[in-house]
Structure 1
Amino acid sequence: MIQVTYLTHDGVAHSVELKPGQSVMEGAVRNNIPGIDADCGGACACATCHVYVDPDWLEKTGGPSAMEESMLDFAEGVQPNSRLSCQIKASEPLNGLLVRLPESQG
């Protein structure tokens, strides 16, 4: 199992375990993490699963695809470490991943 911690904009940490291959968005939805709506169900067709990847994890998560970058245009408060959590798949190298949720999704 892969542990992922979601930190809400008000500082509340939610740690959950994901199966390898599950998306960070799926982990949030299945565990009722506030701030991840995932309106499109993980199809990279909305920006309601926007997260900020902790800087220590940026290299391991990789960068967004062109499609993801275009969807991030619809998110509020985009930063260089912004990602759509539906596009980050749990894997052993991501065990301990920390993502922060934007205030606009609070």
Structure 2
Amino acid sequence: MKDAINIYVKQDNGEQITLEAPLDMNLSVMEVLKAHEFPIQAVCGGMAICATCHVEVLESGELPEMNDDEAYMLETLPHATDSSRLSCQLRVNEEMEGLVVRIMPEA
């Protein structure tokens, strides 16, 4: 079993930044982004009630199914797309190797 996976953050200028996400800490993608000092507010601390960790998934392996709370929050966002997710609801796992996200602007 691997110790970590790579997650990529696509910047507005087209640059793609590689982040190493450990598999043994049960972190969310939001926590990985915050640890690498990306501008994720995560006001609610990962409870899926503020949507300040909104990302667009550009490429992914298998992601967990979206729950009703996440779907509701995403419906309220002006910048949401069909591939939007709340990064707090995505727990890092081996199937996410190669995940590419773009941090979405706040409302």
What aligned pairs does 1:30-41 form with structure 2 within 5 A after superposition? 30-34=35-39, 36-41=40-45
SS of equivalent residue, structure 2 residue 62? helix
Q: Alpha-carbon deviation of 1:4?
A: 0.7
More strand by share: 2
Q: TM-score, normalised by structure 2?
A: 0.82
Q: TM-score, normalised by structure 1?
A: 0.83
CA root-mean-square deviation: 1.7
SS of equivalent residue, structure 2 residue 56? strand
Who is 1:73 aligned against? 75
Aligned length: 101
SS of equivalent residue, structure 2 residue 17? strand
- CA distance in 1 between counterparts of 2:31 and 2:95 reads 18
- CA distance in 2 between counterparts of 1:74 and 1:39 reads 16
Tell me whether 1:28 sits opposite 2:33 in the alignment.
Answer: yes
- Checking the alignment, whether the CA contact within 8 Å between 1:46 and 1:74 is kept in structure 2 is no
- CA distance in 2 between counterparts of 1:97 and 1:31 reads 16
Structure 1, unmatched stretches of 5+, are none
Matched residue type, 1:14: I
SS of equivalent residue, structure 2 residue 30? helix
Q: Alpha-carbon deviation of 1:73?
A: 2.5
- CA distance in 1 between counterparts of 2:21 and 2:85 reads 18
Q: Which has the larger radius of gyration?
A: 2
2:56 to 43, 46, 52: 52
- Checking the alignment, whether the CA contact within 8 Å between 1:14 and 1:33 is kept in structure 2 is no
Matched residue type, 1:19: P
- CA distance in 2 between counterparts of 1:39 and 1:25 reads 11
What is the identity percentage for the equivalent residue pairs of Structure 1 and Structure 2? Answer: 34
Over 3 Å counting, the alpha-carbon distance change for 1:79 and 1:63 in structure 2 is farther
Matched residue type, 2:29: V
Structure 2, unmatched stretches of 5+, are none
